[in-house]
Amino acid sequence: MDHEDPQTHLSTFYELAGTMGFQSGDLENVYMHLFPFSLAGKENEWLKSHPNQSLTR
């Protein structure tokens, strides 16, 4: 969120995504696919401004 600490955002994201029961070998792919949905506001607009709305490792 606009004023949320990035580390808090990531901790919450990993905690929530981890409850979905995916195999540990799949988690990185799951995180990469789900992370854009955790963004809102300016952060979401920033991601959408990048080619293919993509993140890289």
pLDDT at 38: 93
pLDDT at 32: 87
In a domain, 20, yes or no: no
This prediction's pTM: 0.71
Number of separate domains in the chain: 1
In a domain, 57, yes or no: no
Alpha-carbon separation of residue 6 from 26, 30, 31, 48, 54 (angstroms): 23, 19, 15, 18, 18
Eight-state DSSP code of residue 35:
G
pLDDT at 2: 57
Where in the sequence is the domain holding 40, given as residue range(s)? 1-9+27-50
In a domain, 21, yes or no: no
Alpha-carbon separation of residue 43 from 4, 26, 37, 55 (angstroms): 11, 25, 11, 13
pLDDT at 9: 93
pLDDT at 50: 84
pLDDT at 57: 59
In a domain, 5, yes or no: yes
Eight-state DSSP code of residue 31:
H
In a domain, 18, yes or no: no
Q: Which residues of the chain have pLDDT under 70?
A: 1-2, 53-57
In a domain, 14, yes or no: no
pLDDT at 53: 65
